[in-house]
Amino acid sequence: MFAVRFDPSEAELPKEKPLVPQKRAAESDDDSDEVQESEDESQEPERQKDESEDESEDKSREKLPEEPEGQEDVQNQDTSDIHSKKHDSVISRFQQTLKLQEKLPQANLIDEEKEASDTEARPLEQIPQPAKVRNTHSGEAFEERKSIAWRNTTKVHYDNQMVKPFASYQDQLQPRLLANIQQYFSKDTFPIQTVLLDNTLSLLNFTLGVTKKNLTRRVGDILVNASTGSGKTLAYSIPIIEALSKRTVNKLRVLVIVPTKLLIGQVFDTMSKLAQGTGLIISISKLENSLKEEHQKFMNYEPDILIVTPGRLVDHLQIGSITMKNLMMLVLDEADHLLNQSFQNWSTELMNNIKSHKLDQMPGNVIKMVFSATLTTNTEKLHGLHLYNPKLFVRDSVKLYNLPDKLQEYNVNVPTAKSLYKPLFLLHLLNRLQNAKALVFVKSNEASLRLAPLLAIMIEKRMGASHNVLSVNSNNTKSENKRLVHQFATSDTKESNQILITTDLMSRGIDINDITDVINYDPPISSQQYVHRCGRTARALGRGNAHNLLVGKGERKFWTQIEKDISRNVGYEPIISTEQDESIVNVSENENEVYKLCLEILRSQNSGD
């Protein structure tokens, strides 16, 4: 509320009521007395306007020592006499205001002359603008920030030619371990395995042979950003089994943390095969087992290696089933996923536990091995791991992530106007695949629950070949989904294409080696998700196809954004839909009729449910 400024130069009072400084709004928010005064019938209407000004005067008068209120006989006094008294009171109030203003800090006062002079003096030119802030989110700045994330880490580049026989490590691997690798996996390494074994085995063997001291600091922490299906599980399992195979007493020395139960089984399977005949105790911990039983099991037989999800790890740390006292190696598989999830803030809980239980409190007291095909560039996530002298093993490529070398991508552009027919276009695409085992990624459970039955109805109406369509979704029980995944993984594609419709639950780490095609029915939400989805095919240096159904300009534009983070092998550039693919998005008159009928059937099925 601004007081009306009183101009002292007009000290002589005009005929009409003098302008007096309005009182500031009363501190209390109860303005009922003001309403009361302004509605007071006793005053003549024409004076009401003046009265409102007088009210402030009346109100301020209440504050000032002067003629007592309610003097009824005041009407009979000489009016000039009344005026002079009123003027005295106005002038004395003005003087009071001036005194108050003198007490105010100068900064609060608006210098009218200066303000007046400023406004008059300033010509109507462009007011100078502040310097433009550099857009730190622009592409190059963002890329630069991403690469800074790796700047403080020693980079060890490798390329896909680095393959050699596992037998070349016979002096560095226990004979039993080498035999298990060659029996269950392969005679030759994959590139990421070569570069990792070359950089760790000799250090591990030297330190274990000469002195246990500083073993972890000699090796340092290991970060691996390697494409999907490139053999990361074997790459970290081999040095672990090698390092433990000489142990005498079973103690928990290795912790492997993975984001899902599905992955626990896969890692357990790989490590058990490698450790055959070594006597090592490898345990897993998963939610369906009772915590109490697992607690008892670990107390009776302390495992050498524990494979666990973050939530379960925190449970066991909190009830003291396991101790970090002897921990030597910590593996984070699908690390970017693990570090992005809250999971009761598991990494802080784990780091604190290591800090309070390890005898060796020096930095680098545990070798941390951080693996992913889309390793986070978000340093504060990695920062929480207190990395020690980390080495980053990364493909020699200019971008963040690599797609499998022999993955071929196909983009099918669906006009927005035809998006209603997307399920039919998916069927057209499936009809073109021969002996295919295809994963179809949709954006949600609901999408999966709608698409699978509609595909089945269209196939029944002979709109397409007789593909065998399965759907993994949250309506199924966990055991049903597990059975469906197993059925899909072991299915034969001679008679018909095997199709599994799923959400991104299946996009990480699932290792089904003969998936021929991945179809992004709904686009992924990030380049990481795109890499992991496509990585379900073209595994173990094999071939595979990824098909992207892109509806309208929006999804096409989004896809080009994803491209910025992705490197491909020479010759495997994405094939954008061409005229022969146009037939995928064509709908004949007859098809249109039958398709509409299928939609009707689906609607009646759903309403009938």
Ligand X SMILES: Nc1ncnc2c1ncn2[C@@H]1O[C@H](COP(=O)(O)OP(=O)(O)OP(=O)(O)O)[C@@H](O)[C@H]1O
Q: Segment contacting ligand X (CB under 6 A): 182-190, 282-290, 302-310, 457-465?
A: 182-190
CB of 177 to ligand X, least distance (A): 14
Sequence-distant (6+) residues with CB within 8 A of 458 are: 423, 424, 427, 464, 594, 595, 598
Report the site for ligand X in 516-575 (rule: CB under 6 A): 535, 539-540
| Nearest alpha carbon to residue 439 among 485, 497, 502 | 502
Q: Does 234 bind ligand X (CB under 6 A)?
A: yes
Among 509, 523, 524, 544, binds ligand X (CB under 6 A): 509
Alpha-carbon distance 288 to 319, whole Å?
A: 17
CB of 188 to ligand X, least distance (A): 6
Report the site for ligand X in 203-232 (rule: CB under 6 A): 226, 228-232
SS3 track for 50-115: HHHHHHHHHHHHHHCCCCCCCCHHHHHCCHHHHHHHHHHHHHHHHHHHHHHHHHCCHHHCCCHHHH
CB-nearer residue toward ligand X: 193 or 353: 193
Cβ–Cβ < 8 Å for 231, 190: yes
Phi and psi at residue 36, to the nearest 5°: -55, -50
**HSE-up of residue 93 (Cα within 13 Å, Cβ side):** 23
CB-nearer residue toward ligand X: 172 or 468: 172
CB of 496 to ligand X, least distance (A): 25
The two tokens of residue 482 are 């597990």
Q: DSSP state, 320?
A: T
CB-nearer residue toward ligand X: 190 or 298: 190
Binding-site size for ligand X (CB under 6 A) equals 21
Alpha-carbon distance 515 to 553, whole Å?
A: 30
CB of 400 to ligand X, least distance (A): 15
Q: Does 401 bind ligand X (CB under 6 A)?
A: no
Alpha-carbon distance 159 to 597, whole Å?
A: 53
Among 511, 555, 565, 581, binds ligand X (CB under 6 A): 511
CA 176 to centroid of chain Cα atoms: 43
Cβ–Cβ < 8 Å for 280, 245: yes
Cβ–Cβ < 8 Å for 521, 549: yes
CB of 178 to ligand X, least distance (A): 13
CB of 264 to ligand X, least distance (A): 13
CB of 391 to ligand X, least distance (A): 18
Residue identified by tokens 């560039």 is 377
CB of 185 to ligand X, least distance (A): 5
Q: Does 431 bind ligand X (CB under 6 A)?
A: no
Q: Segment contacting ligand X (CB under 6 A): 5-13, 77-85, 204-212, 506-514?
A: 506-514
Q: Does 335 bind ligand X (CB under 6 A)?
A: no
Residue identified by tokens 């939400």 is 525
Report the site for ligand X in 442-461 (rule: CB under 6 A): none
Sequence-distant (6+) residues with CB within 8 A of 551 are: 414, 415, 416, 419, 422
Report the site for ligand X in 473-492 (rule: CB under 6 A): none
Among 60, 216, 233, 411, binds ligand X (CB under 6 A): 233
CB of 510 to ligand X, least distance (A): 7
CB of 448 to ligand X, least distance (A): 21
| Nearest alpha carbon to residue 158 among 204, 225, 218, 203 | 225
CB-nearer residue toward ligand X: 322 or 331: 331
**Alpha-carbon radius of gyration of the chain:** 39
CB of 508 to ligand X, least distance (A): 7
CB-nearer residue toward ligand X: 193 or 468: 193
Q: Segment contacting ligand X (CB under 6 A): 197-205, 238-246, 505-513, 585-593?
A: 505-513
Residue 441 β-bridge partners: 502, 520
Q: Segment contacting ligand X (CB under 6 A): 130-138, 189-197, 547-555, 575-583?
A: 189-197
Among 190, 393, 410, 488, binds ligand X (CB under 6 A): 190
CB-nearer residue toward ligand X: 187 or 246: 187
CB-nearer residue toward ligand X: 17 or 273: 273
- Beta strand 391-395 pairing with 154-158: parallel
CA distances from 583 to 338, 414, 457, 575, 580 (A): 42, 11, 21, 15, 6
Report the site for ligand X in 367-396 (rule: CB under 6 A): 373
CB of 540 to ligand X, least distance (A): 3
CB-nearer residue toward ligand X: 197 or 414: 197
Among 211, 513, 561, 586, binds ligand X (CB under 6 A): 513
For 174-203, b/e burial (b = at least 16 CB within 10 A) is eeebbebbeeebbeebbbbbbbbbbbbbee
Report the site for ligand X in 12-71 (rule: CB under 6 A): none
CB of 230 to ligand X, least distance (A): 4
Q: Enumerate binding residues for ligand X (CB under 6 A).
A: 185-186, 188-190, 193, 226, 228-234, 373, 509, 511, 513, 535, 539-540
